[in-house]
A = this chain, B = another copy of it.
Amino acid sequence: MNKKISIVDIANALNISKTTVSFILNGRAQEKRISEELVKRVLKLVKEVGYKPNSLAKSLRTGKSNIIGLMVEDISNPFFANIARLIEDRAYEKGYRIIYCSTDNDTEKTQDLLTMFQDRHVDGYIIAPPKNIEDDVAALIKSGLPVVMFDRYLPNVDTDYVVVDNQFSTYNATRHLIEQGYSKIAFITFASEQTQMLDRVEGYKNALKEARLKPYLREIDFNRNEELIIEPLTAYLKRNPDFDAVLFGTDHIGTCGLKVIKHLGLQVPADLAVVSFDDYDVFKLYSPPVTAIAQPIEAIADNVISLLLKKLDANHTQTTQKITLSTTLNTRDSSRSMLKVAITK
């Protein structure tokens, strides 16, 4: 029923024109010097009948929607789910609605989604971009749409983004392992050509090079089926029983890694010290607790949304901003030197 009431209906009911109603509803009554009394009558009727302007039509006309499109890699990944949630909250406070989608790191799907967002007249875009999406994003930006990226960025596209200092994070974590006396340190991560992964690999390698140690890098193809991650991981660890420490490149691979370690019956850190990127409950609750690189999720969300809101603001005369936040290495027993662990026991 509500749905059928249009601005015309309420204009007719009051014997005025829909323009007047439109002005009043859009807060331009003053400006248009519409009598207060009329304004009241209109507002009253609107309340009474529960009239809601059809925002679809509005968007069609204005090109604005108060909706922000958020594209994460995979909403079932805790990192993205948490960020999404925080961004949604912040946006909601400011009167924006968020609609999100998972890109699955699939370029085609992302393009498709981008198109959908675009002709849904989304006002702004927050994207964790998959590969090969440069052109599409560049086109978006060129046509004046506000875009903010996070988690990773596109080196060849000049746009605002919020990322963490991936390179330093793994450098620092690796150094920590070295300082604790480990020397055969593997880095196991997902194969990816995206900035965040490349940087993490880089940081790991740098730390090892500095200490004149040999790197052992294993990149596993991502797969939604966990078995297909666990299997090569198991094989790799079995094939290299002499590793004394391992650094996992993401929370997901870290979790899989723990399963493998548990299954193989390895003692942490005696047989193998462990550090993982991202810090979640699994790591905190594991025995022993796992050292982890914590990303500042709240700060990421805050920065992303305020960057976007700034761009959404009428006077967007600013240049692009690239924000790099730092992570925290939460050291726990999984990576302490075996000596110290023995002592504290």
A residues contacting B by CB (< 8 A) are: 1-3, 52-57, 59-60, 67, 74-78, 81-82, 84-85, 88, 92, 97-102, 109, 113, 115-116, 118-121, 139, 143, 255, 258-259, 262, 281-282, 284-287
Contacts and interface: CB of A to CB of B under 8 A. Distances in A.
A57 to B, nearest CB: 6
B97 A101 contact: yes
Nearest to A118: B3
Given A285-B255, A286-B285, A115 B75 contact: no
The number of times this chain is found in the oligomer is 2
A53 B116 CA distance: 10
A298 B38 CA distance: 56
A287 B120 CA distance: 49
Contacts of A100: 75, 99-100
B75 A81 contact: yes
A85 B78 contact: no
A259 B281 CA distance: 9
A85 B76 contact: yes
A113 B66 CA distance: 13
A92 B109 contact: yes
Given A76-B82, A259-B285, A285-B286, 5 more contacts: A1-B143, A52-B115, A67-B116, A97-B116, A287-B287
A286 B284 CA distance: 10
Contact of A97 (B56, B77, B113, B258): B113
B109 A139 contact: no
Given A97-B101, A258-B285, A282-B282, A74 B78 contact: no
A282 B74 CA distance: 19
B57 A75 contact: no
A108 to B, nearest CB: 11
Contacts of A76: 78, 81-82, 84-85
Contacts of A286: 285-287
15 contacts: A53-B119, A56-B60, A67-B116, A75-B81, A75-B84, A76-B84, A76-B85, A85-B102, A88-B102, A92-B109, A99-B99, A100-B100, A255-B281, A259-B284, A286-B287
Contact of A262 (B1, B282, B285): B285
